[in-house]
Structure 1
């Protein structure tokens, strides 16, 4: 299999703002509501970025710590190479959400930009 160089950007943060009117529900599962993200991002509480190599069928994993009391965070996977296709799966301590593909956020743009919320509070931990 041929390796593909992909620029990956994963942004996860609870300090981001999304206007409620712009969000579309993508999935509801186990109390979680996954909606479309936004391009109007403020600085997140945590950002992971880097350039990785990935081949078809491989998985790259990233983790973040969710503090107690948070009710939402963003996942933003941006690979920028239209000839490649990635999927995003969110694994919480109490549920697995996804997989989500390029069009999950309403746009086909080599980016999966989602907001994950749980009104009762996200499970704290990794």
Structure 2
């Protein structure tokens, strides 16, 4: 197959556009930038993974203490069953971020996997996370972790 200059230019533009979509801002609130996390790398200093379960209309709460100087926080809520719908809201010391639903990270897969960041760092202190059972048939188990 012969690759012309035009074909190469189209290919390069397509690659740039695809990478731009994966890094798009999901939300900007209280100066925070929320983007798809996109990485399975789990660094040191992550909160313990919590296994929970939820029913429709139920709310479960989690919290983590964020030290001063932290640039970002990744939140990962994974239930893996697309027919059920959960939401995730982050309550920072200086504002509420969300709620977010399954497709917020760009993929509908029973998972909300987002990174919260802000120029100058995120607010130190206690961050609370609200997991809500939007539409659940029976009881849905899940895992939740922040880092």
Q: TM-score, normalised by structure 1?
A: 0.77
Aligned to 2:96: 96
Aligned to 2:84: 84
**Rg comparison, structure with higher value:** 2
Deviations 1:34-79 (A, max 9, x none): 1111133133411332332211111111111110011211011101
- Tell me which protein shows more strand as a share of its residues: 2
- Partners of 2:124 and 2:45 lie apart in 1 by 15
Instruction: Give how far 1:20 is off.
Output: 8.7
Q: Which moved more, 1:19-28 or 1:79-88?
A: 19-28
* Number of residue-to-residue matches in the alignment: 108
**What's the RMSD between the two structures over aligned residues?**
2.0
- Partners of 1:70 and 1:20 lie apart in 2 by 25
SS at structure 2 position matched to 1:54: strand
Is residue 25 of structure 2 the alignment partner of residue 25 of structure 1? yes
